[in-house]
């Protein structure tokens, strides 16, 4: 098939940025899906805000977008207006937000949505349950996402800091809540514990809280492999949380409050804990730090399911949706 992806966000990236720390979840998903589609023999063009001199199939959307280009399938990043500029037999919107009707109107999406009648692709059950019902007018499907092979192929080791917890999601996804729980409820009972977090404006360098260096995906893997527990309260805007899925792939037990989609990333009592409140969150964290038998059992459970979230399978899922 001849497939194109359309992304008109201001974020500058292309396929060469795959292992760079600047990538967010949406960009990581697009890069991996486009690469896997090419590996499976499909022709793929990505129109986005990439540098004009980008190589291969990446085209700058402002300088290379031609109205006369025809594709079998066009997949837009949450913007129906982009379909005005291409011809496609099938049109899909890959959504990373809940997209209320108010947001549709504010971003002038409504007319284009009814004009092009795209099918929506969502990224989880939480996303489906909380979406605007308007998104299902022309059909919708759920895409099972994957994690990059750098996480799947990483060698697990025993070089784990028994006192280190880690948070690698975006700082605006309730890292302040996590910091407060750590300060008030975890650190006082576990003085030797340390928390490694995504850089945050909160002044938190006491209480053994440290900002991790945002260098590359390889450095991220190293930081995760050294950590005993992955802490992530969750956020109502978190529709999937690739960060938690990456931690799960590296067999790190997760403690969450299940906010947003985080309840989908954890099997309570087997691969981590879903806390009902802040006190439970702290209690479960301390339990994993202090109970080696419990931690080993959860790690063993995670090892058994390792490798099931991969981009090849995710792309096969996408092909079923768009075929």
Spatial distance between the Cα atoms of 15 and 38, rounded to a whole number of angstroms: 12
Domain boundaries, the chain: 2-143, 149-304
CB-based contacts of 132: which residues, under 8 Å, 6+ apart? 98, 99, 100, 101, 104
List b or e across 119-135, with b for residues whose CB sees 16 or more CB atoms inside 10 angstroms. bbbbbbebbbeebbeeb
CATH code matching the domain that covers 2-143, chosen among 3.40.30, 3.40.50, 3.30.230, 3.30.70: 3.40.50
Mean pLDDT calculated for residue range 123-137:
89
Q: Do domains 2-143 and 149-304 have the same CATH topology?
A: yes
Q: Between the CA atoms of 189, 193, 196 and 199, what dihedral angle is there, to the nearest 10 degrees?
A: 50
**Homologous superfamily assigned to 149-304:** Glycogen Phosphorylase B; (3.40.50.2000)
Using an 8 Å Cβ cutoff, are 4 and 87 in contact?
A: no
pTM equals: 0.91
Adjacency order of strands within the sheet including 164-166: 209-211, 194-197, 164-166, 229-231, 254-256, 272-274
Helix 25-39 and helix 242-249, axial crossing angle in degrees, nearest 10: 60
* Section 223-236 average pLDDT: 97
Give the tens place of pLDDT for each residue, 280-302: 999 999 999 999 999 999 999 99
> Vertex 242, ends 239 and 248: CA angle to 5°?
120
- Predicted confidence (pLDDT) per residue in 21-60, tens digit: 667 888 989 999 999 999 999 999 999 999 887 877 999 9
């Amino acid at each position: 098939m001849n497939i194109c992806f359309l992304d008109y966000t201001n974020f500058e990236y292309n396929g060469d940025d795959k292992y760079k720390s600047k990538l967010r979840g949406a960009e990581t998903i697009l890069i991996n899906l486009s690469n896997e589609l090419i590996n499976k023999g499909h022709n793929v063009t990505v129109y986005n805000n990439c540098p004009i001199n980008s190589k291969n199939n990446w085209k700058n959307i402002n300088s290379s977008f031609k109205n006369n280009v025809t594709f079998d399938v066009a997949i837009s990043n949450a913007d129906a207006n982009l379909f005005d500029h291409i011809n496609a037999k099938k049109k899909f919107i890959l959504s990373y937000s809940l997209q209320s009707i108010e947001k549709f109107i504010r971003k002038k999406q409504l007319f284009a949505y009814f004009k092009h009648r795209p099918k929506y692709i969502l990224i989880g059950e939480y996303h489906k349950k909380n979406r605007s019902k308007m998104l299902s007018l022309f059909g919708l499907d759920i895409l099972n996402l994957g994690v990059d092979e750098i996480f799947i192929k990483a060698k697990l080791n025993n070089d784990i800091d028994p006192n280190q917890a880690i948070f690698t999601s975006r700082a605006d996804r309730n890292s302040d809540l996590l910091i407060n729980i750590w300060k008030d409820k975890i650190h006082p009972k576990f003085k030797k514990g340390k928390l490694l977090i995504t850089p945050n404006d909160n002044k938190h360098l006491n209480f053994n809280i440290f900002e991790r260096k945002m260098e590359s995906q390889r450095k991220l893997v190293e930081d995760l492999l050294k950590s005993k527990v992955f802490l992530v309260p969750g956020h109502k805007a978190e529709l999937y949380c690739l960060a938690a899925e990456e931690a799960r792939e590296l067999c790190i037990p997760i403690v969450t409050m299940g906010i947003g989609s985080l309840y989908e990333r954890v099997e309570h009592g087997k691969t981590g804990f879903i806390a009902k409140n802040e006190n439970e969150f702290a209690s479960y964290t301390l339990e994993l730090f202090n109970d080696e038998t419990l931690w080993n059992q959860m790690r063993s459970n995670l090892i058994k399911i390792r490798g099931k979230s991969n981009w090849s399978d995710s792309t096969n899922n996408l092909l079923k949706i768009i075929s």
